[in-house]
Amino acid sequence: MDEYPAQFDFGREVAAWLERFGHDQAMLVLTWIAKLLKFAERNSEFFQGCGLYAVGSSLRGAKFNDIDLVLVGLDFRAVVDYDQVFLMNPEMLIEKKILVEPNFFVIIDDGKESGLMVCKPIMEVKDKDIITAIHKFNHAGMEYKGKEYYYNFRDFGDIASDLTGYCSGQAGPSDLTKSIYKLFNPDDEFSWNLSHPFDHYGFDDRQPFLVYCIRQGEEENDLPIAEGTVIEEGVKPIEISVHAENLRREAWKEYQRSLRLPYITLKEWLETGRERKIITNLEYPDFIDPDGIKRAERSPLNMGSYWPEEPAEIIGS
């Protein structure tokens, strides 16, 4: 196996990890890494200061379901395609009638025999009425220039149950992320298998990271990785998690160490001192740390939204 890692300038730790897999599995892993490294060469302005790492169960022993790779350090504004609705810009929300003045009502069935439907305004929660409380939550909006606005649940409730959920859904993979996806799924023209707006991974029920997870589609699984190469049954799939959190690699590694989660360094791109290349000039959302140190934490009230998180507490020895 030594001839394969030598071509990638891998150290002994990576070589030992690959040797445990056997020839076919190792060749599949190396093919994925090679594709990504070639792509990074062609798009080096995005990748400065980034890192590619192996994580998860394949580092711990022979029993694992897949091989997890993590790409850390890309700028959020290069990974995610988003707009002013995603940023909850009040003027845009009002213009698109996602926020409306509170002059509409919730229909509540008040006549069991006659089937009469009575309109009641939902302005405040009274008498711990759970139905009223739910509708109050659904319609919660924001104040703008001294005026209150409600989330237009009537028109957009089939998309999301509240304003934060709706706005959080107005994002998707950038062209850069789609290009990485197509490295491994060339026949998937529309990148349907990319999560929308985000996927996540975590360990042992801990807070997940904000990522796009990329796997090779089933239609590609039977393709040889090189001319004359046949992949035997039992070879496990590979998944690359492309970070969308804006985390710098040192912050990510510190977080891994704080939770005693192992990782192996496959590639670290040089820091050039220039800003990482971005695709959009929009500002960051509130949950993104411009310095790339703090993580984005998923909201317990709305599983589609995120907020800033304080740096992880270091676990003592």
Which amino acid is present at 251? Answer: A
Residue 178 predicted with pLDDT over 70: yes
Tell me which range, 32-36, 163-167, 302-306, is most confidently predicted by mean pLDDT.
32-36
CA atoms within 13 A on the CB side of 308: 12
Q: How confident is the model at residue 177 (pLDDT cuts 50, 70, 90)?
A: very high
How many C-beta atoms lie closer than 10 Å to residue 91's C-beta?
11
Q: How confident is the model at residue 36 (pLDDT cuts 50, 70, 90)?
A: very high
152 or 124: which leads in pLDDT:
152
What are the structure tokens assigned to 74, written together? 């890309």
Residue 227 predicted with pLDDT over 50: no
Residue 67 predicted with pLDDT over 80: yes
d(CA 55, CA 51): 12
Q: How confident is the model at residue 140 (pLDDT cuts 50, 70, 90)?
A: confident
Mean pLDDT along residues 31-41:
93
199 or 130: which leads in pLDDT:
130
Helix (H, G, I), strand (E, B) or coil at 189: coil
Q: Which residues contact 97 (CB under 8 A, 6 or more apart)?
A: 152, 155
Which residues on neighbouring strands pair with residue 242, listed in sequence order? Answer: 71, 212
pLDDT per residue as tens digits for the range 282-316: 999 888 889 999 887 665 544 445 544 443 332 22
Q: How confident is the model at residue 123 (pLDDT cuts 50, 70, 90)?
A: low
Q: How confident is the model at residue 93 (pLDDT cuts 50, 70, 90)?
A: very high
Q: Where are the domains of the chain?
A: 3-82+171-308, 90-168
Question: 198-202, 204-208, 280-284, 300-304 — which is least confidently predicted?
Answer: 300-304
How many C-beta atoms lie closer than 10 Å to residue 188's C-beta?
17
SS3 track for 71-123: EECCCHHHHEEECCCCCCCHHHHHHCCCEECCCCCEEEECCCCCCCEEEECCC
Residue 74 predicted with pLDDT over 80: yes
Tell me which range, 180-189, 244-253, 288-297, is most confidently predicted by mean pLDDT.
244-253
What's the pLDDT at 3?
A: 42
What are the structure tokens assigned to 20, written together? 């445990």
What's the pLDDT at 202?
A: 56
Question: 104-118, 180-194, 216-230 — which is least confidently predicted?
Answer: 216-230
What's the pLDDT at 124?
A: 54
pTM for the complete prediction? 0.78
Residue 91 predicted with pLDDT over 90: yes
What's the pLDDT at 168?
A: 82
Residue 181 predicted with pLDDT over 90: yes
d(CA 173, CA 309): 23
- 104 with 154: CB under 8 angstroms? yes
Helix (H, G, I), strand (E, B) or coil at 304: coil
What's the pLDDT at 110?
A: 54
d(CA 215, CA 32): 10
